[in-house]
Chains A and B, each alone.
Chain A
Amino acid sequence: MDYRPEVIERLTELWEGRDKGILKGSPELYNRYRAEAFTEFLRLGIPDRKNEAYKYTNLEKSFGYRYEKYFSPRPDDFREAERFHCEVEDLDVWNMVLLNGFFPRGDEGLAMLPGGIWVGSMRAAAKQFPSLVEKHYNRYAQNEKDGLVPLNTALATDGLFLYAPKNTVYTKPIQIVNLLHTTQDIFSQDRNLVVVEEGAQMSLLVCDHAISPQHYLTNTVTEVYVGRNARFEIIRVQNQHNDSGKITHTFIHQERDSYASSNNITLHGGLVRNATWHRLNGENAETHSYGLFLADKHQHIANFVKVDHAAPNCNSTQLFKGVLDENATGAFNGRIMVHKDAQKTNAYQSNNNIILSDTARMDTKPQLEIYADDVKCSHGATVGQLDENALFYLRSRGIDAREAKLMLMFGFAHDVIKNISIEALRERIDHLVLQRLRGELSRCASCAIQCN
Chain B
Amino acid sequence: MQSEFLLQIKDLKASIDNKEILRGLTLEVKPGEIHAIMGPNGSGKSTLANVLTGREIATVTAGTVTFEGKNLLEMSPEDRAREGIFLSFQYPIEIPGVSMVNFMKTAINEQRKHRGLEPLSASEFLRQMREKKELVEIDSALTNRSVNEGFSGGEKKKNEIFQMAMLEPRLALLDETDSGLDIDALRIVANGVNKIRRPDTSVIVITHYQRLLDYIVPDYVHVLYDGRIVRSGGPELALKLEERGYDWIRKEADVSEETWTTDRK
Contacts and interface: CB of A to CB of B under 8 A. Distances in A.
Are A and B physically bound partners? yes
Interface of A: 387, 389-390, 392-401, 403-404, 407-408, 410-415
Interface in B70-126: 76-78, 80-82, 86-87, 89, 92-98, 102-103, 106-107, 110-111, 114
State the main secondary structure of chain A at its contact with B: helix
A392 B103 CA distance: 13
Interface in B167-217: 167
B103 A415 contact: no
A411 B102 CA distance: 11
Contacts of B98: 394, 407-408, 410-411
B55 A398 contact: no
Contacts of B146: 411
A386 to B, nearest CB: 11
B76 A398 contact: no
A69 B110 CA distance: 52
Interface of B: 53-55, 76-78, 80-82, 86-87, 89, 92-98, 102-103, 106-107, 110-111, 114, 146-147, 163, 167
A390 B95 contact: yes
A392 B80 CA distance: 12
A151 B97 CA distance: 41
9 contacts: A387-B95, A390-B93, A394-B98, A394-B103, A396-B78, A399-B78, A400-B76, A407-B103, A411-B97
B119 to A, nearest CB: 13
Most buried by B among A389, A397, A401, A404: A397
A403 B94 CA distance: 18
A400 B79 CA distance: 8
A397 B93 contact: no
Contact of A413 (B54, B55, B86, B97): B97
Given A398-B110, A399-B107, A411-B146, A393 B92 contact: yes
B93 A395 contact: no
A293 to B, nearest CB: 16
Nearest to A395: B77
Contacts of A407: 98, 102-103, 106
B78 A398 contact: yes
Given A395-B81, A400-B78, 12 more contacts: A389-B93, A392-B55, A393-B95, A394-B107, A396-B53, A396-B80, A397-B81, A397-B107, A397-B163, A400-B76, A401-B76, A414-B97
Contact of B87 (A396, A404, A415): A396
A319 to B, nearest CB: 13
B53 A397 contact: no
Closest 10 CB pairs of A and B: A411-B97, A398-B81, A397-B107, A411-B98, A395-B77, A393-B93, A398-B111, A414-B97, A395-B78, A398-B82
Nearest to B166: A397
B107 to A, nearest CB: 4
Contacts of A397: 81, 86, 103, 107, 163, 167
A398 B107 contact: yes
Nearest to B97: A411
Max chain B Cβ within 10 angstroms of own Cβ: one of A392, A396, A398, A399: A398
A150 to B, nearest CB: 40
Contacts of B107: 394, 397-399
Contacts of A392: 55, 77, 93
A262 to B, nearest CB: 21
Contact of A408 (B86, B87, B95, B163): B95
Residue from B94, B106, B147 whose CB has the most chain A CB atoms within 10 Å: B106
A390 B96 CA distance: 10
